[in-house]
Amino acid sequence: MKYYILAGEASGDLHGSNLMKALIKEDVNSDIRFWGGDLMQGVGGTLVKHYKERAFMGFIEVIMNISKIFKLIAFCKEDIKNFNPDVIVFIDNSGFNLRIAKWAKSEGFRTNYYISPQVWASRAKRVESIKRDIDAMYVILPFVKPFYEKYNYKVHFVGHPLIDAISNRNQVDDTEFRKEYNLSNKPIIALLPGSRKQEIKKMLLVMLSLVDDFRDYQFIIAGAPSQEFSFYKQFIKTDNVKFISNKTYDLLSISHAALVTSGTATLETALFKVPQVVCYKGSSISYHIAKRIITLKFISLVNLVMDKEVVTELIQNDFNKKQLKKELEAILNSENREKMFEDYYELEKTLGGKGASENTAKLIFDSLVQRIE
């Protein structure tokens, strides 16, 4: 079978790579063409466009790059037509993918979606267009399935792929890791400031303001694969701050606490059982627009899945040095840590265990075989 996969950002690349591995195992004759990143490229198939070419963040940046985005959409449509896949698999990245899906469905292509757009967070009316344009939806968060059912749209809950990604990794030796990166023996506070330059800058300016107040800890910036060290270098002013690129899982596995930008990283941090403070600050315009369309009481996936405040969220003006220092001190307190650990273990159970990529690949392949039969 011929598969055309559309993934964006580092998380889409991760989940896309694991799905590709599962598809190749399920379908030995698979021919995969994709938009993604280095991890997907490492699996095989043909890379069309790297996600770095379309990493636009927020309403303002999208508007500024609208011409480039439209050219990418046109190119994508033409490339799909030339490849003529048996199925197109969209992974998250709704702004781009839903536009392609509408066109693809009208052209008669089979459309599958892995990792649902966040219609449960805002603009629920998009469910109607998803029902129209997507033949099969595979969701990774347990509360999303009943959400869609309210709109008479049957979807598949396949479990969360992060559980597989984390459980399948090699264990890290704390001593060897510290030696390799010339780290002190101090407990580590990991800083996960996001993946795009705008958000990294906003996050790090506040996160690093705490360094002098926590001299007994080693702060380490987790570098995103999409950014070079030269960009991060401007923020590092002291020996108590280190930088490690593209080793976030290894870093989390030996961290004592973490300050994390809202997104997939909050869930990853929780699955590594690292106490965290969730942070987010966007441009004033983007924030006020988002505030009017997002209907959720939480922004972190940890709190959303558990439907309660497991981790503290510091959003926009609350994300400042005073508040962040207070919350970091709180998660370093042993009593607070114990409660968070208990919630983390419950979170992992709720996410449904291992096998998300395999479950999804089997459902996709079986549906194609049924069509042929």
At residue 94, the pLDDT reads: 87
Residue 127, pLDDT above cutoff 80 = yes
Q: Where do we find the tokens 């962040």?
A: 324
pLDDT band at 293 (very low <50, low <70, confident <90, very high): very low
What number is the average pLDDT over the span 281-300? 62
Are 135 and 229 found together in one domain?
Answer: no
In this structure, the answer to whether residues 124 and 13 fall within a common structural domain is yes
The structure tokens 């790579």 sit at 17
Question: What is the total count of domains within the chain?
Answer: 2
Share of the chain above pLDDT 70, in %: 92
Q: 312 and 366 share a domain?
A: no
Q: Are 204 and 191 in contact (CB under 8 A)?
A: yes
Confidence of residue 59 (pLDDT cuts 50, 70, 90): low
Nearest CA to 350 among 259, 295, 271? 271
Q: Are residues 271 and 335 in the same domain?
A: yes
Instruction: Please determine, for residue 160, whether its predicted confidence score (pLDDT) is greater than 90.
Output: yes
Tell me, what CATH number does 20's domain have? 3.40.50.2000
pLDDT at 289: 47
C-alpha 100/C-alpha 91 separation (Å) is 12
* Residues 292 and 271 both lie in one domain: yes
Please tell me whether residues 99 and 219 are part of one structural domain. Answer: no
Residues 262, 210 share a domain: yes
| CA dist., res. 263 & res. 266, Å (int) | 6
CA distance 116 to 97: 11
pTM for this predicted structure: 0.82
Range(s) of the domain holding residue 340: 167-350
Same domain, 171 and 153: no
Q: Which residues contact 296 (CB under 8 A, 6 or more apart)?
A: 120, 121, 122, 304
Across 12-16, 123-127, 308-312, 324-328, least confident range? 123-127
- The whole-number average pLDDT for the span 179-185 is 94
Residue with tokens 């899945």: 305
What pLDDT band is residue 56 in, cutting at 50, 70 and 90?
low
Burial grade of 84 (CB within 10 A; 0-12, 13-18, 19 or more): exposed
In this structure, are 76 and 185 located in the same domain? no
pLDDT at position 285 over 70: no
Do 117 and 72 lie in a common domain? yes
Same domain flag for 65 and 100: yes
pLDDT score of 299 more than 80: yes
Contact 246, 20 (CB under 8 A): no
Average pLDDT over residues 212-229: 92
Q: Which residues contact 88 (CB under 8 A, 6 or more apart)?
A: 3, 4, 5, 6, 80, 100, 101, 104, 109, 110, 111, 112
Separation CA 40–CA 58 (nearest Å): 25
Does residue 280 share a domain with residue 183?
yes
Q: Which of 34-38, 87-91, 261-265 has the lowest mean pLDDT?
A: 261-265
**Distances in whole angstroms, Cα of residue 122 to Cα of each of 213, 261, 265:** 38, 20, 21
Sheet order of strands, 241-245 included: 241-245, 218-223, 188-192, 257-261, 276-280, 312-315
Burial class (CB in 10 A: 0-12, 13-18, 19+), 176: exposed
DSSP secondary structure of 35-51: EE-HHHHHH-SEEEEEG
Model confidence band, residue 46 (pLDDT cutoffs 50, 70, 90): very high
pLDDT value at residue 286? 53
The residue written with tokens 């959003």 in the block is 315
